[in-house]
Amino acid sequence: MSTVTVFVPKDAAAISVGADDVAAALSQEAQNRGIDINLVRNGSRGLLWLEPLVEVDTPTGRVAFGPVATSDIASLFDAGFLRGGDHNLGYGLTEEIPYLANQERLTFARCGVADPLDLLAYEALGGLVGLKKALELESSAIVEEVTLSGLRGRGGAGFPAGIKWETVRKKAAEQKYICCNADEGDSGTFADRMLIEGDPFVLLEGMLIAGRAVGADTGYIYIRSEYPHAIRTLTDAISRFEQAGFLGENILGSGQDFNIHIRVGAGAYICGEESSMLESLEGKRGQVRAKPPIPATSGLFGKPTVVNNVLTLATVPYVLANGGKSYSEYGQSKSLGTQPFQLAGDIARGGLVEKAFGITLRELVEDFGGGTRSGRPVRTAQVGGPLGAYIPQSAFDVHMDYESLSGSGAMLGHGGVVVFNDSVDMARQARFAMEFCEIESCGKCTPCRIGSVRGKETLDKIIAGANLEKNLAVLDDLCVLMTDASLCAMGGLTPMPVTSALKHFPEDFGSARQAAE
Amino acid sequence: MQELDDKKMVFKVCQDHGNRPADLVQILHEVQAHKGFLSDEVLREIASCLNLSRAEVHGVVSFYHDFRRVPAGKTVVKICLAEACQAVGCDELKEHATQTLSVGLGETSSGGAVSLQHVYCLGNCALGPAVMINGNLYGRVTPEKLDALVSEAES
């Protein structure tokens, strides 16, 4: 038998459930049996409930086994898994697993397929095509493609990327910057991390294209300290790109210079807000800036700056390689393209699902997710991170796009979906939203800094059943005030989980609520 | 002697960053990685190298959750308490940890064996409850598994 290639992910989520041990045990067992295997540590395919997901390259395609524990290794060899043999952990061909086969992977097309730091594999799988195209185009033509694609900011705000880029491109300045926001702090989201660990070159390629488009020669990636694995992968990816001549001076003879620097956050959720991130990149307290001026005209060190999320920038190479029109054929209304949704919390099949905008929440939670992991009934899902709405199970037919969600009092955010079962106490979840804001507020504006503290105290009184009617009125007032008067989305959106919980689950807030209505 | 070593270390770290105030957050990370925490002395030295006031440096240090002014325990246990982990029982895990480790959240046990901290999101939201011990990430952590992981880390 010729040497068989076996894949074991080195994604942090896979490692968190034993992938490193599985990889070591596999090598050892192969050695003990005198079998030569080529062990590749790939990124994750995003089928996180199957991690550690071991794949074997067979003549008919890659065959998946999962979740594999070290105690399963001997039986896998006994079952002839290296030839794709039957085993009770076997899932057949990876590409045919419905969870993966039913996705539309554009941004994550390569994630989990190869060793994320193998530059040859990156090119073989279609990498660098977008960059090479961009280097042949005028800057305005690059921006036009991005505008045509309909790509909007995937960090949460959903601002059209092409318009942002055009503003920076047109601004005359000696120095401009590309800042990638990898401060993925929302609970229930891990797409940025997974992409950086599974296909980091695509992000670097996207930043290069952005630099070419707007006339910037320096990029920063602001990544959270909670992601040590991603920081390591990214650091290695940058040095490999540098060695290959894709970063530095006169890239591929185009005359374009570009360098990328990593900056590590320090555990402040607010630094995911773009202006706070810029302050932090300047070495300061991460306090938000008042707008205007917007970062596109006066951003990092006062220079015109493109601030985009990891997923936005990582989608750009696809747009350039395949054309903006091709990307815009996915999705619906003003939500064009695909969204990497992240299924989290109490969910049977948690992981990453990239689909065109418009899939319903029910399809995500029930068809892909398979309901709860605990087996209890689903009660609600919080969509869009800690500042997103709690959507009741009865309203899961909502379409997952920017317009439909905001039309129903919710928001897409960064695409996280956190599923809760029927044991959840919604008054406590509302209280947590206020407490989280209290802890993570930058403190610059009063509605957020003080409103969150008062909100938490008021919810404590409501939970204790004290003066329900009056306290609910105070809470309503606070929510209106925070929404209308906060400087940024932190204070401005903290009321969203609170009011959605109140609206859809009044029974959790005491009987006075029902009496008042 | 220790003070002299710290001074040299801070000087070198700052110099590697070109003594740029914009690199303050990164410098604090590196100095903390060397020393384990940020003492008054090293902060004074950083301020002097970067030509910042001590108040400015203090302002940055106190803003970010990662920076510590006192040494951490030998084993640092971070439990994720954000929504995705709440949905799968991180509150029970936290209760269990505070009891078995006899240490409160945000505290270090007497003798400095273990520090217990909370964190909002480790990006392992499909495989919660998530815990990070000495920089290593773990998923689907039950109380029993936590006990085993902590004793493994301590041994």
Largest CA distance in chain A: 77
B13, B28, B63: which is the final residue of a domain?
B63
In chain B, what residues touch A440 (CB-CB under 8 Å)? 120
Q: Contacts from A234-238 at CB under 8 Å and sequence distance 24+?
A: A234/A196, A234/A200, A234/A203, A234/A262, A235/A262, A236/A117, A236/A200, A237/A116, A237/A117, A237/A200, A237/A201, A237/A204, A238/A204, A238/A262
Q: Please spell the DSSP secondary structure of A403-452, one letter per residue.
A: HHHHHTT---TTSEEEEEETT--HHHHHHHHHHHHHHH--S-SHHHHHHH
pTM exceeds 0.90, yes or no: yes
- Res B155: pLDDT: 85
| pLDDT tens, position by position, A465-489 | 999 999 999 999 999 999 999 999 9
Residue B11 pLDDT more than 60? yes
The domain tally of chain B equals 2
Question: Is B45 among the domain residues?
Answer: yes
Return the CATH number at B132.
3.40.30.10
Residue A150 in contact with partner chain B when CB distance is under 8 A? no
B70 assigned to some structural domain: no
Residue B82 lies in a domain: yes
Q: What is the mean pLDDT of residues B127-140?
A: 97
Please give the CATH number for the structural domain made up of A119-328.
Answer: 3.40.50.11540
Closest CB from B83, B137, B139 relative to A187: B83
Range of the domain at B110: 75-154
User: pLDDT tens digit string along A93-138?
Assistant: 999 999 999 999 999 999 999 999 999 999 999 999 999 999 999 9
The answer on B115 and B57 residing in a single domain is: no
pLDDT tens-digit map of B44-82: 999 999 999 999 999 999 999 999 999 999 999 999 999
Return residues 475-514 of A near B (CB < 8 Å). none
**Is B83 in contact with A228 (Cβ distance < 8 A)?**
no
What percentage of chain A carries pLDDT values higher than 90? 98
Q: What is the pLDDT of residue A1?
A: 57
CB B133, CB B150: distance < 8 Å: yes
| pLDDT at res. A261 | 98
Instruction: Give the Cα separation of A360 and A343 in Å (integer).
Output: 13
Residue B25 lies in a domain: yes
> Does residue A442 register a pLDDT over 90?
yes
pLDDT in tens, A17-27: 999 999 999 99
Q: What is the mean pLDDT of residues B9-23?
A: 98
Contact residues, chain B to chain A, C-beta under 8 Å:
20-26, 28-29, 59-60, 63-67, 80, 82-88, 119-128, 130, 132, 135, 137-140
The CATH code of domain A426-516 reads 1.20.1440.230
A 277-316 residues with CB below 8 A of B? Answer: 280-287, 301
Question: Residue A424 to residues A382, A496, A505, B83: CA-CA distances in angstroms?
Answer: 12, 18, 11, 11
What mean pLDDT is predicted for residues A423-448? 98
pLDDT at A134: 97
Strand partners, B102: none
Chosen domain end from B41, B63, B85: B63
Min CA distance, B60 vs chain A (Å)?
A: 5
**Both tokens of residue A431?**
């209280």
Q: Is the pLDDT score of A419 beyond 50?
A: yes
- Dihedral of alpha carbons A501, A504, A508, A509, sign: positive
For the cut 80, the answer to whether the pLDDT of residue A42 exceeds it is yes
* Residues B48 and B104 reside in one and the same domain: no
What are phi and psi for residue A499, nearest 5 degrees?
Answer: -70, -35
What is the rounded average pLDDT of the residues A203-216?
98
Q: Report the pLDDT value the prediction gives residue B21, as an integer from 0 to 100.
A: 97
Whether the pLDDT of residue A33 is over 70: the answer is yes
Q: Which two tokens stand for residue B76?
A: 């640092």
Domain ranges of chain A: 4-101, 119-328, 339-419, 426-516
**Nearest residue on chain A to B24, alpha-carbon basis:** A283
pLDDT(B111) > 70: yes
Residues of B within 8 A of A190 (CB-CB) are: 123-126
Predicted-assembly ipTM surpassing the 0.90 threshold: yes
Q: Where are the alpha helices (DSSP H) in A274-332?
A: 274-281, 310-322, 324-328
**Is residue B58 located within the same domain as residue B79?**
no
Average pLDDT over residues A179-189: 97
Q: Which of B25, B82, B140 sits opposite A280 (nearest CB)?
A: B25
Q: Do residues B42 and B14 both lie within one domain?
A: yes
**Whether B86 and B143 share a structural domain:** yes
Confidence at A510, pLDDT banded by 50, 70, 90 = confident
Angle at A108 between CA A374 and CA A19, to 5 degrees: 55
| B81 in the same domain as B59 | no
Say whether A344 and B23 touch across the interface (CB within 8 A). no
* Interatomic CA distance for residues A289 and A279, integer angstroms: 8
Mutate to test the interface with B, among A418, A438, A490 (most CBs of B within 10 A): A418
DSSP secondary structure code for residue A366 in this structure:
I
The arithmetic mean of pLDDT across residues A424-446, rounded, is 98
User: Do B92 and B58 share a structural domain?
Assistant: no
CB-CB neighbors (< 8 A) of B22 in chain A? 281-283, 301
What is the per-residue pLDDT across A333-388, written as a single tens digit (0 to 9) for each? 999 999 999 999 999 999 999 999 999 999 999 999 999 999 999 999 999 999 99
Q: How far is CA A142 from CA A136, A180, A213, A215, A345, in A?
A: 10, 18, 6, 11, 39
Within 8 A of A268 by CB-CB distance, chain B residues are 63-65
User: How would residue A517 be classed by pLDDT, with cut points 50, 70 and 90?
Assistant: very low
pLDDT at A512: 47
Q: Could you tell me the CA-to-CA distances from A135 to A205, A209, A250, A324 in Å, in that order? A: 11, 8, 11, 16
Whether B43 and B110 share a structural domain: no
Please check whether residue A342 touches B, CB under 8 A. Answer: yes
Determine the pLDDT at residue A248: 97
> How near does any CA of chain A get to the CA of B128, in Å?
7
pLDDT, one tens digit per residue, over A301-333 is 999 999 999 999 999 999 999 999 999 999 999
* B68 domain-assigned: no
* Domain end among B63, B92, B112: B63
Q: Which chain B residue has its CA at the smallest distance from A385's CA?
A: B83
Q: Does the distance separating the beta carbons of B23 and A382 come in below 8 Å?
A: no
Q: What architecture does CATH give domain A4-101? A: 3-Layer(aba) Sandwich (3.40)
Instruction: Indicate whether A511 pLDDT > 70.
Output: no
Mutate which of B78, B92, B125, B146 to test chain A, going by most A C-beta atoms within 10 A?
B125
pLDDT at A11 over 50: yes
CATH number of A339-419: 3.10.20.600
Name the strand (E) or helix (H) holding B136: strand B136-138
Give yes or no: residues B48 and B85 share one domain: no
Identify the closest residue of chain B to A386 by CA–CA distance. B83
Residues B129 and B105 in one domain: yes
What CATH code is carried by the domain that includes residue B58? 1.10.10
- pLDDT at res. A304: 98
Q: Across-strand partners of B90?
A: none
Contact B126 A424 (CB under 8 A): no
